[in-house]
Structure 1
Amino acid sequence: MAWLPITQTMPLYVALEEGLFEEAGLEVELTKFENPNQIVDSLTAGQVEVGAPGTAAGITMLAEAKFPGTFKFFGLQGGATEPQRINDALVTVEDSPIRSFSDLKGKSVGTLPGIQWETITKHLVREAGLDPERDVEVVPLGVSLHIPSVVNGDVDATLSLEPVGSVADDEPGTRRAQVNPAEQYIADPFYSGASVLTTDFIEERPEVARTVVSVLDRATKMINEDFEGHKAVLAEYAALDERQVKVVAQPQLRGFEDLDETDLRSYQALVDVFREEGVLGKDLDVNDYVLTSEDLEQKQ
């Protein structure tokens, strides 16, 4: 199972810490990445079978377009405005004049490496009335480099995923300049993360696939019911200290049993951004790629 050290991946962390996989009779081999592209690449190459919650939702659909029939998604992760669930933020130094994407003309903005966040960042720049090719420099930065790069002046701002925004807001000298810009400009709720299975895995090991879905759903429910009681896991898996863990914002987490039409429309809005930005070469309907009970039952 491949994973990224972000808040969206909490269901995996909780499942590991609570022994849910062992309880279900599963032994899980984990592969950690700092670059969202690498997770999807490892899935398409058959190196891993599961993309943990927080797998790049947009890149998943780009890979599906290139290699049809490769993926099914069974959960979504991101943010929302009501109730407030923070996913992304524009991070700057505390005394920066930058308040939103519209203030980025002539500036540089860091974002996660890979096509997903480069595309999202350019789209948000465009929605703010600027030209992402001429007005703003987009700089790829690994998760751990976001705050240091802002503090050191390597970039003027970053578009960052949680927990970076919460940590920046708590640290002296940095702040969230804009909370949930993707929710404002793309969709609300907004999902940049997904839980993903390869179709080969579903076909070859259906019982294990069902169990993985069940375990991660159980962990998702536990977090949604008591986020404060479970967020201590971020200290180990997202490399936060005790003080930072206390300020981390709750994400929007949707498991297999939770997914509804609103969630699917929101995911579709992200996929449509990739089409609009010229990154995706054809229309894709996310409804064709959501895991169903029938997908699992018919393999029994």
Structure 2
Amino acid sequence: MNIRRRFFLQLGAGAALSTALHACANSGQSTTQAEVAASPDSGSGGADPGKISIGFWPVAAGLPLFLAVEKGYFREVGLDVEAVQFASAQQVAEGIIAGRLQGSGNGTASGALGLAEIASPGLFKILASNPSNEDLKLEQFIVAKDSPVQSIADLAGKRVASGPGAQNKVIAEAVLKANGIEDTEVLQLEIRQHVAALESGQIDAAYTLEPTGTVGEMNGLTRILENGVVSTYILGNPKAPWFGGSATLSTQFIEEYPEAAATYAEAYRRAIEEIRTNPDDVRQYLVGYTAIEGELVERVPLVGYTMFDEFTPEDIEYFQAFFDFMTESDVFSKRVDVAPLIYSPV
């Protein structure tokens, strides 16, 4: 098995792959990984699905799930939904494969979900994805505040880090290569360590994810070299949507409880619509589900959201281009078609 793919498929709780962005305090509405593993599976058959467990990675993109749980949108339509925190997107994917989870919240890496689809074909359907680009800020290269580096092209021969995991590493390598740099070894380092590593001089630059860049700038320690690097250098258009994370429901759940699945999707849509219309008012729901708090709550960039019935043909093409990149980079063992993964109410 290819080394990159083997490393990325280490989905267990104790695997070296763990890509936790921050330590996260549980909200009163959320459940830990250990608790969901110990609980019985949701009921099967009939119209009532029982408890619906949705896994999330504690990042800002998961806001629709946090908001819908906290404001009771699921409860209002008769659904018992719990948000279950995991240390990495890979562990969320594993939970869906094992049947302990009925889906994922936004922010769950699409690459991890793609690998889960390869391991268990027909596993899930995408309810919503969170696109980013140079305007909807998520992924970025950052350097120390006083670094002489002014562009990614200046990183030849420098010490560059990425977050852990094959997806982060291959993206960083591809962006460097697109800037004429092929001889730089990318080190894998926990994202929460990027700012400190830059400040100490351990590394010269990092491919990282928000809110890292905002945190570093707020503290006067780092500056953002370039945002939206996947759109610019991998998709070939700075404005192109990179669907780096997705909310899903398992196909098994959808088939067993089609009405509940459709109801869940509309409650989720309600949360997304509120984020679109009142972004400043809903930021407070990041607290407790992520490590984002204080002044950062008001400053962290929010990504966009695209519901299953809002994808345009061009969106699907860009989503597919990213998955094809993952195949060409040997992270995926075979091509994964995006279009059949998009949810359609039964």
Tell me how far 1:3 sits from its aligned partner.
0.7
Alpha-carbon deviations, 1:37-60, whole Å to 9, x = none? 222122222221111111111221
Aligned position for 1:49: 102
> How far does residue 262 in structure 1 lie from its aligned partner after superposition?
2.5
Partner of 1:35: 88
Alpha-carbon distance in structure 2 between the residues aligned to 1:150 and 1:216: 38
> Are 2:239 and 1:239 aligned?
no
Q: 1:140 aligns with which of 171, 176, 189?
A: 189
Shift of 1:106: 2.8
Aligned to 1:217: 269
Shift of 1:22: 1.7
User: 1:88 aligned to 2:139?
Assistant: yes
Match of 1:278 in 2: 330
* Deviation of 1:246 (Å): 1.7
The reply on whether 1:184 has 2:236 as its aligned counterpart is no
1:172 correspondence with 2:172: no
Aligned residue in 2 for 1:75 = 128
Indicate yes or no: 2:154 matched with 1:106: no
1:183-210 Cα offsets, whole Å, 9 max, x none, are 2112311111111121112122323322
- Does structure 2 retain, via aligned residues, the 8 Å contact 1:213–1:256? no
Q: How many aligned positions are there?
A: 289
Question: 2:131 touches 2:242 (CA, 8 Å); kept in 1?
Answer: yes
Does residue 58 (structure 1) correspond to residue 103 (structure 2)? The answer is no
Q: Cα gap change, 1:112/1:211 in structure 2, threshold over 3 Å: closer, same or farther?
A: farther
Question: Are the aligned partners of 2:65 and 2:83 in contact in 1 as well (CA < 8 Å)?
Answer: no
Equivalent position amino acid for 2:289 in 1: Y
> 2:79 matched to which residue of 1?
26
1:203 equivalent in structure 2: 255
Summarize the Cα distance change of 1:119–1:209 in structure 2 as closer, same or farther, 3 Å threshold: farther
Paired residue secondary structure (1:43): helix
Shift of 1:170: 2.1
In structure 2, do the counterparts of structure 1 residues 121 and 244 end up closer, same or farther at CA, with 3 Å as the change threshold? Answer: same
Cα contact 1:59–1:115 (8 A) shared by 2 = no
1:163 to 175, 200, 211: 211
Deviation at 1:86, TM superposition (A): 0.9
Alignment RMSD: 2.0
Q: Corresponding residue for 2:15? A: none
Larger radius of gyration: 2
Note the alpha carbon deviations across 1:142-174, whole angstroms, 9 max, x for none: x43333333333433222222222222322111
- Check the 8 A contact 1:271/1:284 in 2, yes or no: yes
Structure 1: unaligned runs, 5 residues or longer = none
Using structure 2 for the length normalisation, give the TM-score.
0.77
Q: Which amino acid aligns with 1:33?
A: F
Cross-structure match for 1:153: 201
Change (3 A) 1:278 1:158: same
Q: Distance in 2 between matches of 1:2 and 1:41?
A: 10
Distance 1:85 1:207, change over 3 A: same
Q: What's the CA shift for 1:287?
A: 0.8
Give the counterpart letter for 1:138 in structure 2: L
Q: Distance in 2 between matches of 1:147 and 1:18?
A: 34
- Say whether the 8 Å CA contact 2:66–2:83 is kept in structure 1: no
Higher fraction of helix: 1
TM-score (norm 1): 0.88
Letter in 2 for 1:260: T
Q: 58, 66, 70: which is aligned to 1:17?
A: 70
Q: Report if aligned partners of 1:268, 1:286 keep a CA contact under 8 Å in 2.
A: yes
Matched AA of 2:166: I
| Structure 2 contact 165–188 (Cα < 8 Å) conserved | no
8 Å contact from structure 2 (residues 153, 181) kept in 1: yes
Partner of 1:125: 176
- Counterpart in 2 of 1:262? 314
Q: CA deviation at 1:79?
A: 1.1
Three-state SS of the structure 2 residue aligned to 1:236 is coil
Letter in 2 for 1:34: A
Q: Distance between the aligned counterparts of 2:328 and 2:153, measured in 1?
A: 20
In structure 2, the partner of 1:291 is 343
Alpha-carbon shift at residue 34 of structure 1 (Å): 2.9
